[in-house]
Each structure stands twice: as structure tokens, then as C-alpha cells.
Structure 1
Amino acid sequence: MIEHKIVVLGAMGAGKSTLVRAVAGGTVIDTDVLNTDVSSSKLATTVAMDYADVSLPNGDRLRLYGTPGQERFSFIWPVLLQGARGVVILADASSPEVATELDTYLRTLRTHADRVPAVVGVSKFDLVPDVDLDACQLRVQEVAGRPLPLVPFDARSEDEVMMLMDVLMGEVEAAALVEAHG
């Protein structure tokens, strides 16, 4: 049995909690509280983490950790990244600065989990289908210092969330093969 610790990073409102709930079938431990951040109209926000423990059909376990998106909680990001086998970074396509909003999270990945397989999900793509994905991809490679798969998706769609997770798990498996065969 393999335990896959997956950490989900991204801005407040990008869909981290929604993604964790979709993967876990709704069974999640969360630390949501009333949102007092006037920069967002969200009613609630995560202040520590979302957590889900999922049994996979092959007997492996998937442990998902959704981080709080606000930078004032950034001290917990490196703690949660310790021992991660994979990282999902989410960007909100409806944000006017979608490409640059990734910077904080990509720098965190580069600093604290540089060799951990990762994928970038562009959420709310259904609301802004003309978002410049090429600009996002260039920004990802520039700031992360390595190419990462970029997947547009809707965090409310279980099928699209599973597609994003499949891409990540493919990256995790490829990294394991490279490590095993030097």
C-alpha cells in the first residue's frame, strides 16, 4: 500500500476546498470560518486546511490537504508540503491577473517542494473560456523553473476534477519510475 500525500495550493476562491470535497465524495474535515477579508465576497474561508483521506481501488490511500489561500496563512504551506508526493496549484480563470496570481504559490513550490510532481489547474474555465492559457503556461515555467502540466477545469465537476487528479497521478508515477531507474 502506498500513501499519496497531495497538497492543494492556490488563491482564496480558486476552488481548493471544492476540489478536495469532489475527490473525497464530500467527506472532508475543514477549518472554514466566516470570511472577514473584504477583498473577497466569499462567505467562508479556510484558515488552517481541508483534509480528506480516500481509499483508492488498488488499496493505496490518497491524503488530500487543501491549504488556506490567503497569504497571511502562508506559514502553514511549507509545513503541509513536507512529505508531499504531489501538488496541485489552482488559479482562478475569472481573476483579472490569473497568470500572475500563480506566482506566490509557484515560488512556494519552488522553495519548499522543488522536485515534487505538480500540476496547475485553471479553475472557473467554464466562466472565462477565452483566458490566455499560453500566458499562464509561460508564467508557470518562468516562476516554477520547470514545465508543469496546465489543466483548465471546473472544480464543481467531479469528472473534470478526476481528470486533473489523473494528470497529477501520472506525473507522480513518472517521477517514481525515473527515481527507481536513476
Structure 2
Amino acid sequence: MREYKIVVLGEMGAGKSTLVQALAQGRAVSTEVRNTDPSAAKPFTTVALDYGDIDLPGGDRLRLYGTPGQIRFDFLWPILLEGASGAIVLVNADAGPPDQQIRPYLDAVDRHPTPLPVVMGITRMDDASPTRRAACEQWLERDEGQLPIVMVDPRDPMQVLTVMDVLMSQIECQALVACHE
């Protein structure tokens, strides 16, 4: 039996809790509370973590951890990344320049003691204003291809499974390389 710990990072409102709930089929534990941040137009926000535990075929297990997105909770990110198999970083296409959004989360992943496979998910592309959508598309064109990037609606379980397939492929490739070193 193999166990995979996946950590989902990103700014508040990027869709982390929704992604975890979609994969866990609505059975994830949530620590959402009423949002008191007037700069964010969302009624609830995660303050500790979201957690989903999923049995995979063959007896394997997937443990999902959704992090709080606010920078004031950045002390939790390394704790949740401890022992992780991989990470998903979500970027809200309607929330500003993607490179600025992802930097704190990728820095947390980079500080991990061992290299972690990472997939970036771009969310809310359909909701983005034309200006924000254009900025996101320009950023994607400039990206050096260092991370796999997938457009994803975290409410859609099939799209979320695509993100997980990409991440699991990276995790398996990393394990194969490690076996041959």
C-alpha cells in the first residue's frame, strides 16, 4: 500500500477548499470560518486546513491538505508540506498577475528539504475580466515551462482529476528516477 500526501496552496479565493471537496466527493473536513477580511469578497475562508482522505484502487491512499491562502498563515505551509508527495498551486486568473500570486507558495515549496513535484492550476479563467485574462495568457506564453500548468475549474471533479493525473505522473517519474540513481 502506498500513501500520497498532496498539499494544495494558493491565494484566498483560488479554489483550494473547492478542489479538496471535489476530490473527496464532499466528505473533506473543513476549517472555514466567516471571512473578516474586507479586501476579499467571499463569505468564508480557511483558517487552518482542509483535509480529505481518499481510498484509491489497489489499496493506495490519497491524503489531501488544503492550506489557508493568507500570508499571515504562511507558518502553516511548511508544517503541512512536511512529508508531502507533491503539491498543487492554484492561481486565480481574476486576482492579478499570476507570477505575484504564486511566488510565496513556490518559495514555501522550494524550502522543502527534498524536491517536490508541483502542478499549477489556473482557476477562474472564465470569470476573469478581459484585461486580467489577457495578462494571464501573456504570462503563460512567457512561462519557461518549469511547471506543468493546467486550466481547471475546481468545482468540476473531472477537471480536478486531470490535475491529479498530471501530478501523480510527476510523482511516479520522480520515484522511478530515484530508483535508478
Question: Structure 2 matches for 1:70-149, cutoff 5 A?
Answer: 70-112=70-112, 115-128=115-128, 130=134, 132-133=136-137, 135-136=139-140, 138=142, 147-149=146-148
Per the alignment, residue 40 of structure 1 pairs with 40
User: SS of the counterpart of 2:176?
Assistant: helix
CA distance 1:93–1:58, change in 2 (3 Å): same
Question: Which runs of no fewer than 5 residues in structure 2 stay unpaired?
Answer: none
Query: Partner residue of 2:9?
Result: 9
2:27 is matched with 27
| Shift, 1:112, TM fit | 2.2
Q: Residue 171 of structure 1 corresponds to which residue in structure 2?
A: 170
Question: Structure 1: which 5+ residue stretches go unaligned?
Answer: none
Shift of residue 157 of structure 1? 1.0
1:115 Cα deviation from its structure 2 partner: 0.4
SS of the equivalent of 2:7 reads strand
What does residue 55 of structure 1 align with?
55
Q: How many residues are paired up? A: 177
CA RMSD of aligned residues (A): 1.7
Greater shift in the superposed pair: 89-98 or 122-131: 122-131
TM-score, normalised with respect to structure 1: 0.91
Which secondary structure state, in structure 2, belongs to the residue aligned with residue 125 of structure 1? coil
Instruction: Give the SS at the match of 2:48.
Output: coil
Distance in 2, matches of 1:131 and 1:55, equals 39
State the 1:100 CA deviation: 1.5
Is residue 28–residue 52 contact of structure 1 (8 Å, CA) maintained in 2? yes
| TM-score (ref. length: structure 2) | 0.91
Conserved 8 A contact 1:33-1:45: yes
1:131–1:42 CA distance, 2 compared to 1 (3 A): same
